[in-house]
Amino acid sequence: MTHPISPLAPARFPDLPAIAGLEAAIGRAGFYKHERPDLLLMRMPEGTRAAGVFTTNAVGSAPTDWCKQALSATRGGARALLVNAGCANSFTGPAGDAACKRALESACAHIGVETREILAASTGVIGVLLDDAKIARAMPDLSLHPVNWFDAASAIMTTDTFPKGSGATCEIDGVTVNIAGIAKGSGMIAPNMATMLAFVFTDAALSAPILKTLLKAESETSFNAITVDGDRSTNDCVLLFATGQAKVPPIADAHDPRLAAFREALSGVLRDLAIQIVRDGEGATKLVRVIVDGAASDASAKIIARTISESPLVKTAIAGEDANWGRIVAAAGRSDQPLKREMLSVRFGDLYAARDGMVSPDYDEAAMSAYMKRDELEITVTVGPGAGRAVMWTCDLTKRYVEINGDYRS
């Protein structure tokens, strides 16, 4: 089933930089009833290093289990990536593990890499065993070429309404390096690592430990700072690959000052991809930035921000263009985090709805109603005198979300 493009979608898919040494093939295994690509196979050069962050959902999935084991066994080495859409291969037991391995073996035989060097990702319906024979049959028709980022991003979509990509160019110690990434996600989004996949590539020569440190830190303010529906998926993962084709001088520490520009660029790419997922939230008509400050700590602020961002009452009020600040303070209050009621303030953009624990004396209903009609909103909640601060991105909750998820398997 195809869905109308989100009203919050970017105007166009961006022009992403080429990543030296990277190739891709797009194909169709037939996991969907309608004609569409559902396979992405990528090959990297020898010496490529990789790192990943994965869902904290206790159920997990065969591909996420495979990736964790493979990255550990190879100490972050990777030569290939196989992604399928249409079947999550989660909650499928030992049979799912075996199907995942067979699918990867067929891909590796086709492109000439060892099975231990390939990573896997799947997205789609949970509880359905992967029919790996479909992937094996599709392999002969897959031909590797320089990456077409639009096609690669399109191949991994499920209920997404637009392909998601982001890129950047920066320097490491005077050497120009490129970063390019794609992502998919629309519903079941509440990362602590949602159904959400992201694959980011750079031509920099960086070690797996450095990649892991950077990815884990920058995911906290990007993929782990978004929510669509509060439902954490079984298959979420973000994988970061470094092909090593840009000969960066040796760097041994992720905190080396020479990585400052790269870290900033990587952070921007990850955040852009994450926010695009929220822009494509199932049924979404509003993109909302929720800021919490004055908290006891950054961690406390993040819990409060997530509680507000995932409140069905808050999200439906936003869908109705109603600045119902009472629902926001109620959500903050039930977050079980320390706050000072007499200091609670709620601001929509520059307009105060509540200030110092009560309705703002300059509250203007007409101005507030006009503000709520915007496609993009900012809500700032001050909860006390502390230094803790956090930012989350969310969207509204509309009838369309119910329709999409009610019809998902049919």
Contact of 368 with 351, CB cutoff 8 Å: yes
Contact of 304 with 334, CB cutoff 8 Å: no
CA dist list (Å): 79 to 27, 42, 70, 115, 213:
19, 8, 11, 9, 20
Alpha-carbon gap, residue 119 to 70, rounded angstroms: 7
Look-up of token digits 């602590």: 192
Look-up of token digits 């040796």: 250
Alpha-carbon gap, residue 97 to 63, rounded angstroms: 8
Burial of residue 170, with CB atoms counted within 10 A of its CB: 0-12 exposed, 13-18 middle, 19 or more buried = buried
Query: DSSP alpha helices (H): ranges in 174-287?
Result: 208-220, 260-279
In the annotation, is 56 catalytic? no
Take residue 39 and report the two structure tokens written for it: 């396979």
The distance in angstroms from the start CA to the end CA of the chain is: 9
Take residue 344 and report the two structure tokens written for it: 């609670």
Of 222, 223, 344, which Cα lies nearest the Cα of 295?
344
Give backbone dihedrals phi and psi of 354, rounded to 5 degrees, phi first: -135, 145
Alpha-carbon gap, residue 254 to 39, rounded angstroms: 33
- Exactly one of 64, 195, 394, 398 is catalytic; name it: 195
Position 297, amino acid: S
Alpha-carbon gap, residue 193 to 224, rounded angstroms: 6
Q: List, in sequence order, every residue forming a beta bridge with 43; answer none if it has no partner.
A: 23, 80
Query: Strands 39-43 and 175-185: what pairing?
Result: unpaired
Half-sphere exposure of 158 (CA within 13 A, CB side): 30
Counted residue by residue, the chain has a size of 410
Task: State whether the Cα torsion 260-262-266-268 is positive or negative.
Answer: positive
Position 88, amino acid: A
- Residues annotated as catalytic are 195
